[in-house]
Amino acid sequence: MRKIRIFEHASLDGVIEHDKNYAYPAWTTPYRTPEGMAMLLDVYGHNFDLLIGRRTYDEWLGYWPNAGDFPMANAINTATKYVVTHRPEHLPWGPVKALGGDVIGEIRHLKSTDGPDLVLSGSISLTSLLLDAGLADDVILIVYPVLLGRGRRLLSDGFDARKLEFVSTKVTPTGVLLNTYRHMGSLNS
């Protein structure tokens, strides 16, 4: 059985995606270092498959296939990409498999198969869906020492409260926190 591990890059105020007209579109760039990248890859693991939404797939298609030869790019490019989409006809960046229809049922089945862990990154709607369905095992928050003020937050206002158990933290040389939590279920249970 595979684990589903959610990875989200966030500011201290919980913004994970800025709007396209934001004054600081590359807000994570000043915090990137080779040491930090090695730590992040260690948390990701060197062998994983991706579980992503169509918008994230399309955004990553513009970067990762041409990112060059380095460990994170190699891991992402060789991972099977399971894409939640209503438009499965054009998915040129593979290996790839489209998921549609009964998304929760398909992900539940995929999780029950043998293979590497499934990593979800970005894909805000899918993050909430997986947590609500109880399918996520771990939540890894990559927290940057910035306050962005506006943009899309990790979860929607309609999201039901969840319990997380702290597992570990690592700090990169530039102060980025790699916080790992185990998903424990509803806060009401």
Q: Name 26's Cβ contacts closer than 8 Å, sequence gap at least 6.
A: none
Question: Does the pTM of the predicted model rise above 0.85?
Answer: yes
Please give the Cα distance from 15 to 10 (Å, whole number). Answer: 5
Please give the Cα distance from 79 to 75 (Å, whole number). Answer: 6
- For the stretch 19-64, pLDDT in tens is 666 677 788 889 999 999 999 999 999 899 999 999 899 999 999 9
Residue numbers of the domain that contains 35? 4-186
Compute how many other C-beta atoms are within 10 angstroms of the C-beta atom of residue 110.
19
Burial state string for 168-185 with b = 16 or more CB within 10 A and e = fewer than 16 = eeeebeeebebbbbebee
What is the CATH classification number for the domain harbouring 87? Answer: 3.40.430.10
Tally of domains within the chain? 1
- For the stretch 70-110, pLDDT in tens is 999 999 999 999 999 988 889 999 999 999 889 999 999 99
Check pLDDT > 90 for residue 154: no
